[in-house]
Copies of this chain bind each other. A is one copy, B any other.
Amino acid sequence: MKNYEKMIHEWLKSQQQNGVRLLTKLVQQASTQGNEAKAQAIVIEKCRQLGLEIDIWEPDGEQLREHPYFVSVRTDFSNSPNVVAILRGMGGGRSLILNSHIDVVPEGEVAQWEDEPYSGAVKEGKVYGRGASDMKGGTVSFLLALEAIRALGIRLKGDVIFQSVVEEESGGAGTLAAILRGYKADGAIITEPTNMKLFPKQQGSLWFRITVHGKSAHGGTRYEGVSALEKAQIALAELQKLELERNARIVDPLYQHIPIPIPINVGKIEGGMWPSSVPDRVVIEGRMGVATNETVEMAKQEMERCISVINETDEWFQTHPVELEWFGAQWLPSAIDENHPLVAVLVDAYKCVKGETPTVEASPWGTDGGLLSQVGQIPTIVFGPGTTAVAHHPNEYIEIDNMLTAANILALTIIHWCEIAEKGESGA
């Protein structure tokens, strides 16, 4: 271990309390869609303290809506600012984007939470609250890594471009806005919750809405109606079959330990208006995983075909077809070669800090990596301290040790990727 590697390790060990305090403050801001400004203000203040070049702007919905991969339900991003903060290099090195999102999904059923959902409570080495794992812990890992580099007076050749973006949970309009604003780099890391695994490939995903029609009738003579809920079972079963088929095709060894590489998740159902009437309409909303070796268009066509088949074969659906819409969020799949130099640098940093080889897998969910790699043409890898076992769950938490260890690994990765500038190399 080189001298600066030891120093970074020691410095980060001393910063545990500060890191936890920063995370708690971030978690306590309920930065659900449209409510990100207060959490961003904390990020901005931290970046100011680190002496970074700061760029704050509200994404331009009118510009974004023209882009084929813009999918948000809103075009008004007032009070939803993006933040980019640059640690400018001395020149001559590779640049690196550090991307994390500040938005969180809603808290779900509050009764299932032990503490208040946005408590930021610290218990037994963990920080609790919505967003702790997904992904404010990852944001703090980035900021601690940058702080370590600054604190130890290390100067880099390449630029480090830290991004705290909005709207990841709804399809990536924040990251898309950052790309369209001109932010590029030779590589990108996203600290989504990988539970300390490396994900050079990330699946994409699409939101869908399926509407099933029935025929209302008095519940006492329900055989005179057609239950949209009973007919919806046909669509639900078809989605399960489609999920099986699509996943049976996945042979990428990076997915070998993932039970369902590209899941089809039904997240919402709503139907019927009256207990004693036969429901005449059921609406299902869900999320379809997109494989790293297919396009979102290919995935869409496959589900559209699946719905066409039941519309052609089921007698009721022949005259009352199931409707399929794509709406809301969409994440492009992303993949870089496992032998890409960025992977190698990250693997080495991991080995140096942890003394063991990291797990390299493909992610079972979409990230903004799809936009960075497909739209921005930036090789992207996902690696973060949180875990999806708790993300989007009640009682979400992050292990403080992982957050600090990730910061350490990221600091070394940044240094090795962007390179230390020899003294006198600075133009400043």
**What does the 1/0 interface line of A209-231 toward B look like (CB < 8 Å)?**
10000011111111111010100
Oligomeric state, in copies: 2
Chain B residue at smallest Cβ distance from A240: B230
CA distance A267 to B275 in the complex (A): 4
Task: Count contacts on A: residues with CB < 8 A to the other chain.
Answer: 64
Interface pair B276/A229, CB less than 8 Å apart: no
Interface pair B393/A207, CB less than 8 Å apart: no
> Which of B225, B233, B267 interacts with A272 by CB under 8 Å?
B267
- Which residues 325-348 of A sit at the B interface, judged by CB distance below 8 A? 328-329
Q: Which residues of B contact A134 (CB under 8 A)?
A: 218
Q: Which residues of B contact A223 (CB under 8 A)?
A: 259-260, 263
A386 CB to closest chain B CB, in angstroms?
11
A360 at the B interface (CB under 8 A): no
A145 at the B interface (CB under 8 A): no
CA distance A58 to B203 in the complex (A): 62
Q: Which residues of B contact A394 (CB under 8 A)?
A: 216, 280
CA distance A394 to B218 in the complex (A): 11
> Which of B207, B217, B286, B388 interacts with A392 by CB under 8 Å?
B217
Interface pair A287/B279, CB less than 8 Å apart: no
Interface pair B108/A221, CB less than 8 Å apart: no
- The 3 A-B residue pairs whose C-beta atoms are closest, nearest first, are A220-B365, A219-B265, A276-B287
11 residue pairs from A and B, CB less than 8 Å apart: A105-B276, A217-B393, A219-B263, A219-B365, A220-B365, A222-B260, A222-B265, A227-B266, A268-B273, A268-B274, A269-B271
